Structure 1
Amino acid sequence: MKTSGILAVLAAFSTSVLAAPVDNAENTEILERANLPDLNAVQSAHARSIIDEVKKVGVGMHGCEAAITTGLTEESQSSLRILANKNVPASLNYAHDGLGSDHDSIGIFQQRAMYYKDIACDMKADCSAGLFFNGMKDIKGWQTMDIATLCQKVQRSAYPTAYQKYTGTAAKVCKAGM
């Protein structure tokens, strides 16, 4: 008898809890902030770090789109993930989302360690974005240049047409994050 009485109380309590109103607007807003368009949680966190750097250095929407496009495209491995590389043993000492294998390229932007020697910076989204923006600002006319063309001029990729694939996604991400 005691057990059935307890179960009856629990059943009544759970029904009232389930029937309680929920502030769906607030919960929906939290969920929408969780991930930027077409990105998972890891990618969104890195994109937000890049966007913070965009705001800090003042390169606007155009700079944001170039950086996010590059981060999504590079090495077809990065996809806005921070990659270490066994060819750069020091990169393994930093937080990373996976391993890349292209020469000595590391981080979101797959920056070559032979040129970008500050491995700690290369392995952080905001700092490596700053390096990307430094190179971008050296390009005459970057402010109005086609995004895919701009990415190629900064990165000098062996696959110059690859950037075009992600310009639309980058535009959505930047619009949502800025």
Structure 2
Amino acid sequence: MPEPPTSASVRRGRLLRTGAAVVVLLSLAAYLVVQYVSGGRPAPRCTVVSGNGDGASYSFTAEQAVNAATISAVGTTRGMPERAVTIALATALQESGLRNIHHGDRDSLGLFQQRPSEGWGTEQQIMDPVYAAGRFYEHLDQVPGYSRLPLTVAAQRVQRSGYPQAYAKHEPDATLLAAALTGRAGASLTCEGRPSGTDVRKPGDPATVRAELVRDFGQGVAPATGIGEVTVPVPATVDSAGGGEQQRGWELAHWAVANSSALRIERVSYAGRVWTAGDSGGKWSGADAKAVAGSETDAGEVRIVTAQ
């Protein structure tokens, strides 16, 4: 027959229940504060749509869009083809969900879950998305015929994952992302473009936009800053991973849209088309009513306007 509870055990039980109740109340209070600050709205999102007329699309968060745009920019700046960008994006989707996380299996870190102990770099280096993406492409470029290999095989040659087949499920989404972010004709990227959290009223900074462009694309991108805007020249002769002027222009324009929430970008224009931030989803529009990419309009620059 069990012994009756002592007064000490009763007090401990009450304290535990009280502590649990306090934790729940604090969590609820924190949630309500976040909802109040953000206006109760969900996190801003982005959507990429196929240019093949098949209706394929992929929706993802603004945080993922920033990282995807960096991965793509680093790849094309290195002269890697669209297939390489697709492989890199599918790998990051599997390894981290396209989030720059500070944890993982053993000492794995960052977008690609690279390990300092395996020679990928220091912890600080791996947590830099530009560095991490560059290291991935460096290893991928050493895989013979990687562009002709199945995506799972190419990614596994770099990653040496315990679950190599897991990369396959991300290939359709990665293909859509790569098409838009490398500027391929027809593919389009839209984002709501609104900030989240406590920076709702914070203005954008053209100097920061310029610094991020140079960080992702390198010094050759040559953006110029003005009052409330950044202009990025698109050379008439350019070979961005096999593409031309229009592809390079749309690559830069879609990079700006992908970074719109993080950098407080309000408007992006290129080739007679304009993207404007807004809760309606941030759509591309233009008087010429042509496709989002592949327009024949001659435009020598991408114009990025920040929030004031």
TM-score range, shorter chain: 0.5 to 0.7
Residues 38 and 169 of structure 1 are in contact (CA less than 8 Å); yes or no, is this contact kept in structure 2?
A: no
Partner of 1:67: 88
Question: 1:143: how far off?
Answer: 2.2
**Of 128, 145, 170, which residue of structure 2 is paired with 1:124?**
128
Separation in 1, partners of 2:136, 2:87? 9
Deviations 1:73-123 (A, max 9, x none): 01xxx1000011xxxxxxxxxxxxxxx231000000000111222322211
SS at match of 1:38: strand
The share of aligned pairs that are identical, in percent, is 29
Q: Report whether the alignment pairs 1:159 with 2:163.
A: yes
Question: Could you tell me which of 39, 44, 51 is aligned with 2:72?
Answer: 51
5 Å-filtered alignment, 1:74-153, equals 74=95, 78-84=96-102, 100-114=103-117, 115-153=119-157
CA deviation digits over 1:112-169, x for unaligned, max 9? 1112223222112221010001110111111211112111111010001100010000
Return the alpha-carbon distance in structure 1 between the equivalents of residues 113 and 104 of structure 2.
Answer: 10
Give the Cα separation in 2 of the matches to 1:143 and 1:41. 29
| Bigger relative contact order, structure 1 or 2 (CA pairs below 8 A, ≥6 apart) | 1
Q: Structure 1 CA distance, aligned partners of 2:87 and 2:104? A: 23
TM-score by length of 2: 0.40
Distance 2:174 2:146 in 1: 17
After TM superposition, which residue ranges in structure 1, 4 or more long, deviate above 2 angstroms? 34-38, 117-121
Structure 2 match to 1:95: none
Higher-strand-fraction structure: 2
Gaps of 5+ in 2: 1-43, 49-57, 183-308
SS at match of 1:39: strand
Unaligned runs of 5+ in 1: 1-30, 85-99
Moved more, 135-144 or 63-72: 135-144
- Please report the TM-score for the alignment, with normalisation by the length of structure 1: 0.68
